[in-house]
Structure 1
Amino acid sequence: MLPPRPPRPTPLPSSRPFHFLVVVSVLCFAAILTPAPAAVAAAASGDADGGGGEGGVIRIRTAAVARSAMDTKPFISAKDALKKEPISDVIALKDSMKYFDAEFFNDSKLREMEDGAKEFNVPAFRENRKLVATENGGLHNPSVLLFKSSWSSGSMTSETRSFEYPRASSVHRPTNDEDIAFMSVIELGELIRTKQITSRELTDIFLRRLKRYNPVLEAVITYTEDLAYKQAKEADDLLAQGKYLGPLHGIPYGLKDIIAVPHYKTTWGSRTFKNQVLDSEAYVYRRLKSAGAVLVAKLVTGSLAYDDIWFGGRTRNPWNIEEFSTGSSAGPAASTSAETAGSIAYPAARCGVTALRPTFGTVARTDVMSISESLDKLGPFCRSAVDCAVVLDTIRGTDAGDPSSREVALGDPFHVDITKLTVGYLDDAEMEVVDVLSSKGVKLVPFKLNYTVESVQSILNITMDTDMLAHFDNWQREGHDDDYEAQDQWPVELRRARLIPAVDYIQAQRARGKLIREIKDSFTVDAFVGNVTDWERVCLGNLVGMPVVVVPTGLKSIENPPKGGTKRRTTVTTGIYAPPDHDHIALALAMAYQSVTDHNKQRPPIDDLGPNDVIQR
């Protein structure tokens, strides 16, 4: 049943028309200033008439009548009144709370929050941005919130000592440049030390190779040719004076183009910054220069250190040049590079080279573009684990420009007794590695990392994206994300990062702490062997800060080979993981494996793919 109609009101006496209009005016403006829900919803959806309901129209018209009778205030439309009314902002704020998983505030609290944000938060945000965010890249003003990756309860007091490198014996200069190019750092260093080759000659060889293959591989952004010949001459002159600086003396190398070198472009792989020259010298570059190494090129990084797409193209895999190299360290497959979340592991695995992602904090990142201050790490891509150890020993160290860097008292990987180690192997480990290490006297046991944290990947994404946005806040505000090379990458992630509340960023770090404690308790072996490109494990390893050596373990046929066959191949790799501060253990095991295998010595078939294999370019 419908409720009974209310009785019709008694008409007001005709002698009081003015009072009638006053009452109507007050009531109708009150209705406009506290609109019905339907009118509010219509206003929020942009309905210019204040809603499709008849009540909204009646109020507008009645207000107009009141104005014509009194003519004491300017006319305010329902649309304008709704815009000015604070409650409409409250409704918008309430609606936005669903994006922060915080739909539990009433209107009074939301109005209080709105006032506080306007009066305190926004002015503070703007002031802080003026202080630290006018420049992009996170090169200056590092956070005071520091991540410590070490599992040691106390400070590391052991003296940091240089490794004792093995000396290559009976090394003779090959007769052709191709063989020279595939020699190890230790072997090349011996050729230079014994004056069988000069640094100038070696620099010539590698620059010619880079220029020969770069049109296909797209691995170089900037050749540092003048600098290279200058440094090569200095290395040769020192040797002529009887001064030998060590195994990197006169050795050519490349740097990922997020690492600053004076007088040369540091593009970060981005068209926004492709002409950027930083008047600074990265710590890692200073270390390599002091060791006598020769910089021949700034190598490709994916745009703003994301994947393999950059402003000049997309870097290819030398083993299968119809594939791309993956990871932001796309170009540096024989150099010093960086990882936040897979940028060493993925390209090393795809391109079949040995690489080391060191313990977080081992290598100072001063004057290197930053994605995340608690995740970024610098490490080498090399021919072998021996070479990785040599480079690590050169570049490791602390610097005032990177508060997260520390003196990690690593053991000497060349003097580890691997027969005293217990090494686990996961279900996805390459069993050849397990068998070889077992034959070398290592105790191998089945192993599994046990942890209850199910949000590993989201913890990394929240951490990485929020930190990256802080470092490129100005870039986004100026609309440069519209010019980004791959719109489904950083632009999408950093827009989403705007909606990550500070409280949930902190909760992610607390969850990260729980994960680290569980991994520490679960790490009951000295090291373990397992897949190096599993995304969950990539996230976990970077959140924990643990080192891993990427080790080539073989080759297999590509999928869907061309008719008639091809020499292109897919590389097979594995990872040797160790606890933080135990990089020397992982390196020692990798060196033991490579001492009796030759997978790391194989050469990509760029020049000879087969008569029926036409590469689509």
Structure 2
Amino acid sequence: MSCQPGGEDPPHHSREPVLDEFRFDINRRRFLQCFSAGGLALMPGALAAVAGDADLITQEMLEAAQSIAGISFTPQEQERILARLNGSAGPLPGFDVLREADLGDLPPAMVFNPVVPGTSIPTERRPFRRQLREVSLPATDRELAYLPVTHLSRMVETRQVKPSELTELYLDRLRRFDPVLFCVVELTEEIARRQARQADDEIAAGIYRGPLHGIPWAIKDLFAIRGTRTTWGMSPYRDRVIDQDSTVYERLTDAGAILVAKVSTGALATTARWFGGRTRSPWNTERDAAGSSAGSGAAMAAGLAAFTIGTDTGGSIIGPSTRNGVTGIRPSFGRVSRHGGMVLSWTQDTVGPICRSSEDCALVLDVIQGPDGRDNSVMDLPFNFDATTDVSRLRVGYLRSSFEGEIPESPGDPEAAEVERATRANNRQALEVIRSLGIEPVPFDLPDVSIAGIDLIRFVETAAFFEDATRRGDLTLVEEGPERSVRPIEIRSAWFTPAVAYIQANRYRMRAMQQMTEAMSGLDLFVGSRLPLTNRLGNPVVALPSGFFRDWPTSLHLTGRLFADAEILELAHAFQRATDHHLKHPPEF
């Protein structure tokens, strides 16, 4: 049975909001039949939005909506509710206003603060300290391409290599290896060559902006940059150009970095699949590069840029860093502006670097972090990274569940348990390296928190950001197109979340934040991670290579208390000075 006026389903490219068509033309009984046939009941808010100023909301509708909202009212209470919903003081006029408003990319007036009331965050500012080193030009271009920013920047500064030479090297590698990895959305050759010429001229004139001056980089295709396509991995947007520059691009450009490419994101920031294909890992091209910062992880591992930028909501920096054997940091929530980027969750999204080393991550994070006057979630807090510090001062725990207990078999992926066993074995060795640095990690357990109670927040915020795309039918094109994204059904389902549940989920998150703060009260960081929880609470996490399972990299995760970004990078740097896992590269690239 069709639920559309006239009995015909609209074409997927229809630009008219389907819910508005319901509102004006459908009668109440047919409305209920349509949703009952699909096993759906409308929540009060969505129900009011549909009813609009046509038919009145009936008791039948209200009773159907109660089931999905998980609440029951008496007949007398329902009568008063109906009078309110159908009256001039009810929510219907407000729904009309919101539907007609052009909200663009405006964030909500509510701003998430991950800091628990009563908790103090250090505010003392100390100089950023790099580890200075003497470097010389390697024998081959491949070796040059894989050098960390710490080395490349010294070569640029001492004029052993020109920014334009590095730029052409990386552009050539991007062209050569993209047909295998499917990681490039757009080569930004015109921008790159213009910026490289400027860097050449400035450095020749004795003007040196800092360690990112003349360094080529790539950015995840969620960020707007004038003159480039911003597709979000979605086929309906494959040719879209947004006339705006994101904050992260502006800051890296001001630092003299050279943009060479926009790299792939899984459609709607999920998985590694986008309209151009499935982004693959250079360690094993039969496997994907993990999502959703798949292009950032793959490009980094294959030596296609000196550093990349990714985003993370539920693991999209840490996952690709782990899968591709590179170093990446998901910064604390409130550390880096998201202005000019796609939104999955205004209260959970973060922006961070994926690099060759932890010191590289610190160099990039130092440039992109801090308030910009556009993203109100960003706090003005110090980032006191010191590559020369004595890390024995750090209070470190280790997450018992990352090192102990049974590893369940996975019927759908028989190799998963083997990988986990190898990861644990490598991480136990990593723990010994940390002990050799003068640290004695103590056992640590995370609070028992149900992620489902918090995830409602992200689902609703994603649905709000993509309301226009949902009404236009863009999500159907993404669902049925080459990207085959599963995100659209998640977005549609979120429309049926009661507003009360969204607020309660935020209160539940506050309790989890309190529990996490208490659990970490004696620690600066812990070894191991539980991304589903820490990502939702705003904690910083760094992933760094810890060894191999066969020819597949494994990863060590360090998780910090809020805004301990510098501390986790300092320990990661000390670990990488004592090991060489991060210096291994895929042999075929």
Q: What TM-score do the two structures reach when normalised by structure 1?
A: 0.78
Q: Which amino acid aligns with 1:521?
A: E
Number of the residue aligned with 1:438? 435
What is the CA-CA distance between 1:224 and the residue it aligns to?
0.3
Given candidates 127, 130, 139, the residue that maps to 2:100 is: 130
In 1, Cα distance between the equivalents of 2:563 and 2:328? 17
What is the CA-CA distance between 1:111 and the residue it aligns to?
4.0
Number of the residue aligned with 1:545? 538
In 1, Cα distance between the equivalents of 2:55 and 2:152? 76
Q: In the TM superposition, what whole-angstrom CA distance separates every residue of 1:85-116 from its partner, at most 9, and x where no partner exists?
A: 979x31232123111101x2133433443443
In 2, Cα distance between the equivalents of 1:187 and 1:545? 31
Aligned residues: 504
Number of the residue aligned with 2:382? 409
Number of the residue aligned with 2:81? 113
What is the CA-CA distance between 1:602 and the residue it aligns to?
0.7
Number of the residue aligned with 2:271? 307
Number of the residue aligned with 2:70? 101
Contact 1:255-1:336 within 8 A present in 2 as well: yes
Q: Which amino acid aligns with 1:345?
A: I
In 1, Cα distance between the equivalents of 2:239 and 2:257? 26
What is the CA-CA distance between 1:330 and the residue it aligns to?
0.8
What is the CA-CA distance between 1:406 and the residue it aligns to?
1.3
Q: Which amino acid aligns with 1:193?
A: E
Given candidates 472, 490, 493, the residue that maps to 2:466 is: 472
Contact 1:269-1:302 within 8 A present in 2 as well: yes
The equivalences for 1:23-42 within 5 A come to: none
Given candidates 326, 329, 332, the residue that maps to 2:296 is: 332
SS in 2 for 1:512: helix
In 1, Cα distance between the equivalents of 2:241 and 2:459? 26
Identity over aligned pairs, percent: 36
The equivalences for 1:384-423 within 5 A come to: 384-423=357-396
Number of the residue aligned with 2:499? 502
What is the CA-CA distance between 1:244 and the residue it aligns to?
0.9
Q: Which amino acid aligns with 2:588?
A: I
Q: In the TM superposition, what whole-angstrom CA distance separates every residue of 1:524-562 from its partner, at most 9, and x where no partner exists?
A: 3221101x4xxxx212111211101101101112xxxxx
Number of the residue aligned with 1:448? 445
Given candidates 468, 484, 488, the residue that maps to 2:478 is: 484
Q: Which amino acid aligns with 1:145?
A: M
Contact 2:523-2:561 within 8 A present in 1 as well: no
What is the CA-CA distance between 1:153 and the residue it aligns to?
3.6
In 2, Cα distance between the equivalents of 1:494 and 1:111? 32
Number of the residue aligned with 1:570? 552
In 2, Cα distance between the equivalents of 1:85 and 1:338? 44
The equivalences for 1:510-529 within 5 A come to: 510-523=507-520, 524-529=522-527
Q: In the TM superposition, what whole-angstrom CA distance separates every residue of 1:419-438 from its partner, at most 9, and x where no partner exists?
A: 12221112314112210011
Which structure's CA Rg is the greater one? 1
Flag the structure with more relative contact order, 1 or 2, with Cα contacts below 8 A and sequence separation at least 6: 2
1:374 matched to 2:347: yes
CA 593–44 in structure 1, closer or farther in 2 if over 3 Å, else same: closer
What is the CA-CA distance between 1:279 and the residue it aligns to?
1.0
Across the aligned residues of Structure 1 and Structure 2, the Cα RMSD in angstroms comes to 2.2
CA 254–43 in structure 1, closer or farther in 2 if over 3 Å, else same: closer
Given candidates 317, 320, 334, the residue that maps to 1:347 is: 320
Given candidates 549, 552, 564, the residue that maps to 1:556 is: 549
Contact 2:184-2:295 within 8 A present in 1 as well: yes
In 2, Cα distance between the equivalents of 1:172 and 1:507? 58
CA 438–41 in structure 1, closer or farther in 2 if over 3 Å, else same: same
Contact 1:413-1:587 within 8 A present in 2 as well: no
Given candidates 133, 152, 161, the residue that maps to 1:168 is: 133
Q: Which amino acid aligns with 2:92?
A: V
The equivalences for 1:151-300 within 5 A come to: 151=116, 153=118, 158=123, 160=125, 162-169=127-134, 171-300=135-264
1:365 matched to 2:329: no
Q: Which amino acid aligns with 1:553?
A: S
In 1, Cα distance between the equivalents of 2:344 and 2:232? 11
In 2, Cα distance between the equivalents of 1:442 and 1:156? 23
What is the CA-CA distance between 1:597 and the residue it aligns to?
0.9
CA 183–309 in structure 1, closer or farther in 2 if over 3 Å, else same: same
The equivalences for 1:133-152 within 5 A come to: 133=103, 135=104, 139=105, 141-151=106-116
In 2, Cα distance between the equivalents of 1:306 and 1:548? 19
Contact 1:150-1:581 within 8 A present in 2 as well: no
SS in 1 for 2:310: strand
CA 245–41 in structure 1, closer or farther in 2 if over 3 Å, else same: closer
In 1, Cα distance between the equivalents of 2:30 and 2:314? 46
Number of the residue aligned with 1:72? none
In 2, Cα distance between the equivalents of 1:528 and 1:484? 39
SS in 1 for 2:578: coil
In 2, Cα distance between the equivalents of 1:172 and 1:411? 29
CA 407–415 in structure 1, closer or farther in 2 if over 3 Å, else same: farther
In 2, Cα distance between the equivalents of 1:225 and 1:543? 37
In 2, Cα distance between the equivalents of 1:330 and 1:162? 33
Q: Which amino acid aligns with 1:106?
A: T
Q: In the TM superposition, what whole-angstrom CA distance separates every residue of 1:174-216 from its partner, at most 9, and x where no partner exists?
A: 1210000110101001111111110010001111111111011
In 2, Cα distance between the equivalents of 1:45 and 1:366? 43
In 1, Cα distance between the equivalents of 2:380 and 2:127? 12
What is the CA-CA distance between 1:489 and the residue it aligns to?
1.7
CA 115–199 in structure 1, closer or farther in 2 if over 3 Å, else same: same
In 2, Cα distance between the equivalents of 1:203 and 1:152? 47
